[in-house]
Amino acid sequence: MKDEVKELIPEAEITKRVRELGEQISKDYAGKELHVICILKGGVFFMCELVKHITVPVTHDFMAVSSYGDGTVSSGRIKIVKDLDDSIEGKDVLIVEDIIDSGRTLQHLLQVLGARNPKSIRLCTLLNKPDRREVEIPVDYIGFSIEDLFVVGYGLDYAQHYRNLPYVGVVEV
Packing angle, helices 11-28 and 43-51, rounded to 10 = 60
CB 124 within 8 A of CB 140: yes
Catalytic residue among 101, 131, 140, 157: 101
7 contact partners, CB below 8 Å, separation of at least 6: 167, 168, 169
Identify the sign of the CA torsion 131, 133, 138, 143: negative
Beta bridge partners of 9: 168
End-to-end CA, the chain:
10
Reply yes or no on whether 98 is catalytic: no
* Residue positions annotated with a catalytic role: 101
